[in-house]
Amino acid sequence: MSHFSYRNGVLHAESLALSEIAQRFGTPTYVYSKAALLENFAAYADACKKHGRATAENALVCYSVKSNSNLAVLNLLAKQGSGFDIVSGGELLRVLAAGGDPRKVIFSGVGKSREEMQLALSHDILCFNVESAAELKRLNDVAGELGKRAPISLRVNPNVDAKTHPYISTGLKENKFGVAFDEALAIYRSAAILPHIAVVGIDCHIGSQLLDDAPLLEALDKLIELIDTLEDEGIAIHHLDIGGGIGINYNDDQPVAVGDYLGRLFARIDAWRAARHAGKAIAVLFEPGRSIVGNAGVLLTEVQYLKHSPDKNFAIVDAAMNDLMRPAMYEAWHGVQTVKQDGADVRTYDVVGPVCESGDWLARARELALAEGDLLAILSAGAYGMTMSSNYNTRGRSAEVMVDGDQAHLVREREQAAQLFALEKLLP
C-alpha cells in the first residue's frame, strides 16, 4: 500500500497534506513516511520469522546505511532489531549516534582505511566484508596492533549478470568489487591461518534495483558450492550474506515481492543444509537499502517559473541535481505528481532545477498541468536521494521531515549558506 496518496484532491503523506508540510518547513524538502519504512522492514523480518528464523542469530537484516542515513531512519530501524551495512567510519559513527548495535554491523567497501578498521574493531562489529587480499593483510596487521581478531567474510564476486543499470551492477567479473570466484578459495586458505583474522562468513552483493530474484538465487548457488568446498577443507562458515539489491517500482516496474524472494532463498538453503549438513542451520544476512526506504520518501519542490520556448516547456523548480542526483547520473526515471490535482492546462514539461548545468533535470517530457507556485512531489526518492546530495552551486541541502500519521517531525534542518563555508579560511 502506498503511504502517499490523494485525499480530497491533495497529495498526502500518510494523513498529512504535503502542502501543509511545504508551508511549515519550506521547499525543497524530503518527506518520509514512517509507516512505509516500518512496513518495508517488516516484509523482511516477517519472511525470516515465517521461515523459522526468528532471531538475529539465524537471520539478520543489515540495512544499507548509504541508501538513507538520516539518524531518525536509522533509529527507527534499530528499534525494529535491524543491523546495519556500512561502508565508512562515518556511517559507523552515525549508526552509533542513532542507537544502533555495533555487534549487528557489517562493514563493506573496497577501500577501508587503517583508521576505519581501528574504529570498527574498537566497537567489536559483527563482520568485515573483505574485498581483496591486500585488505585482508592490512586488517590482520591492524587487528594485531590492537590485540584483536577481526571477524571476516570474503566478498565473493559470483560473476552473475544482475541485469540492471551498468553503474549499479557489481557482480560481474569486470567490476571492482569483491574477489573473483576462482580466487576466493586461495584467499580463504590464507585467511584461515592469519593470527588476527577469524573467518566467520561469506558475502556477495551483485547489484542494485534488481526486479527479478533469479540472479540472486544463481549467486546463492555459487556461494553454496564454495561453502561446501571450504567446509571440506575444515574452514567453517557461520553466516552467508547475500547482499541487498531488490528493486522498487519507479516507472511501471514490477519488482519481485520481498516475501517471495526470501521464501525461495530459504527453501534452497534448507534443502541444501538437509542434504549436506544434517540440517545444521547457517545464519543468513541481508543488506537491503532501496527496498526499505526508496518508496518511503518523496522530494517536495515548488515550481518557480514556467518557461515556454518554441520547442519545449520547462518547469523550473527549486530542487535540483544537487538535491536528487539520480536523473543526472543514471538518467533515472522518477514519477512526478502535482500536490494539488486540479490543474487544467496540461502541457509536456521538462522539470529542471536552478543549477547551471544542462544535466540538471529531474524529469523529462511529463504531461503536467502547472502554474507558478505549484508544489510537486518527485516520487520514490527515499533511497539515494538525500545521501547523494551535494552543495554544488552553494546550495544548502534540503530539509528532511518524517511523517507519522498526521504529525510531521523535522528530522534534519535545512542547511543555511553560512554553514556551507564555515570551515573555510582566508589566506593569512
Catalytic residue list: 356
Q: Which of 326, 334, 366, 397 is the binder for ligand LLP (CB under 6 A)? A: 326
Q: CA angle, corner 235, sides to 234 and 239, nearest 5?
A: 135
Q: What is the Cα–Cα distance from 42 to 48, expressed in whole angstroms?
A: 9
Q: Does residue 3 touch ligand LLP according to CB under 6 A?
A: no
Binding mask 388-427 for ligand LLP (x = CB under 6 A): x---------------------------------------
Q: What residues from 44 to 83 belong to the interface with ligand LLP (CB under 6 A)?
A: 64, 67
Stretch that binds ligand LLP, among 138-146, 302-310, 341-349, 383-391 (CB under 6 A): 383-391
**In the complex, minimum distance from the CB of residue 57 to ligand LLP, in angstroms, rounded to a whole number:** 21
Candidate residues 30, 41, 107, 384; the one interacting with ligand LLP per rule CB under 6 A: 384
Question: How many Å apart are CA 241 and CA 60, to the nearest integer?
Answer: 9
Q: Which is nearer to ligand LLP, 22 or 87 (CB)?
A: 87
Q: Out of 83, 102, 171, 288, point to the residue binding ligand LLP (CB under 6 A).
A: 288
Task: Select the residue interacting with ligand LLP from 290, 334, 366, 395 (CB under 6 A).
Answer: 290
Secondary structure class of 78 (helix, strand, coil)? helix
Q: Which of 151, 171, 215, 289 binds ligand LLP (CB under 6 A)?
A: 289
* Region for 178 from its dihedrals, namely left if φ exceeds 0, alpha if ψ lies in -120 to 50, beta otherwise: left
* Range 166-185, binding ligand LLP (CB under 6 A): 168
Residue pair 346/338 in contact by the 8 Å Cβ criterion: no
The answer to whether residues 248 and 43 touch, using CB atoms and an 8 Å cutoff, is no
How remote is the C-alpha of 154 from its chain's centroid?
A: 21
- Concatenated DSSP letters of 34-51: HHHHHHHHHHHHHHHHHT
DSSP strand pairing (336-338 vs 375-378)? antiparallel
Retrieve residue 19's grid coordinates: 502542502
Window contacting ligand LLP (CB under 6 A); options: 6-14, 116-124, 261-269, 287-295: 287-295
* The one among 14, 85, 91, 116 contacting ligand LLP by CB under 6 A: 85
How far from 231 is each of 133, 188, 224, 226, CA to CA, in Å? 20, 11, 11, 9
Q: How crowded is residue 414: how many other Cβ atoms within 10 Å of its Cβ?
A: 16
| Min CB(16)–ligand LLP separation in Å | 26
Report DSSP state, residue 68: -
At residue 279, what is the residue type?
G
Q: Which is nearer to ligand LLP, 252 or 367 (CB)?
A: 252
- Name the site residues for ligand LLP (rule: CB under 6 A): 64, 67, 85, 108, 168, 205, 208-209, 243-245, 287-291, 326, 383-384, 388
